[in-house]
């Protein structure tokens, strides 16, 4: 235990106890009854060890209370209540063991030398009969002690205590639907009942130990232990815009609530409460703060603890950069980075002309609307309760460059690819392709365009050009028929490709030369 952690030996005993209980549904042999006696003896020894550990814990508690009654007295009193309740419940169970044995063996019955070990009627009578009903009383007392022990305990100790003193029957158990006392003692022989009760006594001692240990920990709970005193200057920010205030907290690393330290900053005594210091940032550049904190020791002597720090005052400014280029493209999302030194993102805002500017977390996206008209991003920041404009950044808005037309196809491995002409292309893949696509995919911009129409130009054996018109972005039936007639080494051209991008502008793209291999 920290009070009651189970040792490997105790775990083995509990396992034997569970196995023996499971065998009660079978014919109980003398060997099994002897086994119960062995488990009961081991449990009794473990209980004695738990009691000794609890006694040491309580003596430690007594010592803590004597050393510092103001801190420990209230928790020691509650520990005494837990110990008294534990002993009462332990004695009650011991009384039950005696009554069960005497009911089975007569008035001279001895718990340590049971004769009628396989007698079940005496257990049923003492624990379950309406006349005695001690099982129901035991359940109620366990619940009462558990609630009392948990009143001042939380965390791990609480879960351990709850497990030790639980009177719940698992839903998966064969005892589901029955009362706790019936599940524990109905048709149980005397030897097994005594073992069960002895284990409960051990659980009570272990729960008591957990409660005592938790209460001891509460004596010093919340105490702050220090072995060093230092002076610190804690600024709200080391970057301050001109016209705003510099704020800092000047404190000791360890504080004695019985005295207020005297603080001197730049030669003057600080009048601010709790070491709060403010200064108007009237000029740009690095500003220094130095001074000392005067501390009085118990003997009356005074000690000066020096401190020194600095902060930077800068002109109001902001950083606005277009992460794609030094220009913006109309009709698409342009990622933009916006920041103001010394100002948290939550206290910063921005707006934009000629388009929209949206924000997602710390990221911004600009979407210009008109080509040829500049987009201006205005950045403002909250400082000392007021909003001030810190930057205006101008960006040129350009039309998206022309995309490249391509034939989208799927290779033998299922990968999506783009054929952009100028090299051999499989006739089988060509016949499977549906038509034409277009996009800017140079690794810098990745923008898809919508193909409106295109022409294919084939050549007959006489060298005459045979143009065919597409069905939108797809090959027309006449184009497909012409493709089927092509032989290896032949080539044709895709020209007059018209496409529309996100900016809504229609453009004619460069032709593609397709070579059949």
pLDDT of residue 447: 93
| Residue 26 banded pLDDT, cuts 50, 70, 90 | very low
Tell me the per-residue pLDDT of 426-455, one tens digit each, with 9 for 90 and over.
Answer: 999 999 999 999 999 887 788 999 999 999
Q: List the one residue out of 52, 50, 61, 47 whose CA is nearest residue 4.
A: 50
**pLDDT score for 287:** 82
Band of residue 365 on the pLDDT scale cut at 50, 70, 90: very high
Residue 386: pLDDT band by 50, 70, 90 thresholds?
Answer: confident
Distances (CA, A) of 514 to 416, 442, 483, 484: 18, 21, 11, 14
pLDDT at 118: 86
8 A C-beta contact, residue 111 and residue 194: yes
Give, rounded to a whole angstrom, the gap between the first and last alpha carbons of the chain: 82
pLDDT level of residue 226 (50, 70, 90 thresholds): very low
Nearest to 308 by CA among 248, 357, 260, 353: 248
Question: Which CATH architecture describes the domain 319-398?
Answer: Sandwich (2.60)
Higher pLDDT, 49 or 258: 49
pLDDT for 252 beyond 70: no
One CATH from 3.40.50.300, 3.30.565.10, 2.60.40.10, 3.40.50.2000 for 231-314: 2.60.40.10
pLDDT of the residue at 368: 94
Q: Is there a contact between 403 and 440 (Cβ–Cβ < 8 Å)?
A: yes
In this structure, of 24-28, 313-317, 368-372, the range with the lowest mean pLDDT score is: 24-28
Q: What does the block give as tokens for 160?
A: 């351990």
Residue 274: strand, helix, or coil:
helix
CA distances from 393 to 274, 320, 354, 362, 378 (A): 42, 7, 13, 18, 7
For the full predicted model, state whether its pTM sits above 0.85: no
- Hey, do 231-314 and 319-398 end up sharing a CATH topology, with the first three levels equal? yes
d(CA 483, CA 194): 96
- Which 3 state secondary structure label does DSSP give 321? strand
What is the rounded average pLDDT of the residues 391-420?
Answer: 92
Sheet bearing 363-368, strands edge to edge: 319-322, 334-339, 363-368, 355-360
Contact status, residue 457 vs residue 463, Cβ threshold 8 Å:
no
**Residues 64, 73: Cα–Cα separation, whole Å:** 9
User: Is 60 exceeded by the pLDDT of residue 18?
Assistant: no
pLDDT band at 223 (very low <50, low <70, confident <90, very high): very low
Q: Name which residue leads in pLDDT, 403 or 303.
A: 403
Q: Note the pLDDT of residue 225.
A: 43
- d(Cα 85, Cα 147) in Å, to the nearest integer? 11
Left if phi > 0, otherwise alpha if psi is -120 to 50, otherwise beta: which for 11? Answer: alpha
Of the chain, the percentage scoring pLDDT greater than 70 comes to 81
Residue ranges per structural domain of the chain: 8-219, 231-314, 319-398, 404-516
Structure tokens at 5: 């952690």
Which tokens is 408 given? 């989208």
């Amino acid at each position: 235990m920290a009070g009651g952690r189970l040792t490997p030996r105790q775990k083995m005993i509990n396992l034997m106890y569970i196995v023996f209980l499971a065998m009660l549904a079978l014919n109980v042999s003398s060997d099994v009854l002897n086994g119960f006696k062995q488990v009961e003896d081991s449990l009794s020894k473990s209980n004695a060890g738990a009691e000794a550990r609890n006694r040491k814990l309580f003596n430690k508690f007594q010592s803590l209370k004597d050393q510092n009654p103001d801190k420990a007295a209230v928790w020691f009193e509650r520990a005494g209540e837990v110990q008294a309740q534990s002993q009462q419940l332990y004695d009650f169970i011991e009384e039950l063991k005696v009554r069960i044995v005497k009911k089975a063996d007569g008035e001279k019955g001895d718990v340590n030398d049971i004769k009628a070990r396989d007698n079940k009627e005496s257990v049923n009578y003492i624990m379950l009969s309406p006349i005695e009903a001690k099982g129901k009383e035991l359940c109620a007392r366990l619940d009462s002690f558990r609630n009392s022990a948990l009143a001042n305990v939380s965390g791990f100790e609480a879960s351990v205590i709850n497990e030790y003193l639980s009177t719940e029957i698992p839903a998966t158990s064969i005892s589901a639907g029955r009362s706790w006392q019936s599940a524990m003692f109905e048709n149980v022989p005397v030897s097994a009942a005594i073992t069960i009760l002895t284990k409960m006594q051990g659980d009570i001692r272990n729960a008591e130990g957990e409660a005592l240990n938790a209460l001891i920990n509460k004596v010093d709970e919340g105490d702050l232990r220090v072995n060093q005193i230092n002076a610190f200057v804690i600024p709200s920010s080391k970057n301050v815009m001109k016209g705003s205030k510099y704020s800092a907290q000047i404190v000791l690393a360890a504080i004695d609530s019985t005295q207020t330290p005297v603080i001197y900053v730049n030669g003057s005594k600080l009048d601010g409460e709790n070491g709060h210091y403010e200064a108007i940032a009237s000029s740009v550049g690095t500003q220094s703060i130095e001074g000392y904190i005067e501390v009085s020791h118990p003997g009356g002597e005074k000690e000066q603890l020096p401190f020194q720090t600095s902060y930077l005052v800068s002109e109001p400014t902001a950083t606005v950069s277009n992460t794609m280029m030094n220009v913006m493209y109309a009709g698409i999302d342009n990622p933009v980075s916006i920041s103001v030194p010394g100002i948290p993102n939550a206290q910063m805002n921005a707006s934009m002309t000629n388009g929209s500017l949206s924000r997602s977390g710390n990221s911004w996206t600009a979407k210009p609307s008109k080509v040829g008209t500049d987009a201006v991003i205005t950045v403002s920041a909250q400082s000392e309760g007021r909003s001030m404009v810190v930057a205006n950044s101008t960006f040129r808005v350009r039309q998206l460059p022309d995309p490249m037309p391509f034939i989208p196809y799927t290779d033998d491995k299922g990968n999506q690819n783009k054929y952009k002409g100028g090299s051999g292309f499989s006739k089988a893949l060509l016949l499977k392709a549906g038509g034409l696509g277009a996009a800017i995919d140079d690794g810098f911009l990745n923008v898809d365009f919508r193909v409106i129409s295109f022409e294919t130009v084939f050549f007959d054996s006489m060298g005459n050009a045979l143009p065919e018109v597409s069905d939108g972005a797809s090959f027309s039936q006449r184009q497909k028929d012409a493709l089927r007639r092509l032989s290896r080494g032949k080539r044709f051209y895709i020209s007059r490709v018209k496409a529309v991008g996100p900016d809504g502008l229609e453009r004619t793209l460069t032709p593609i030369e397709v070579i059949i291999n």
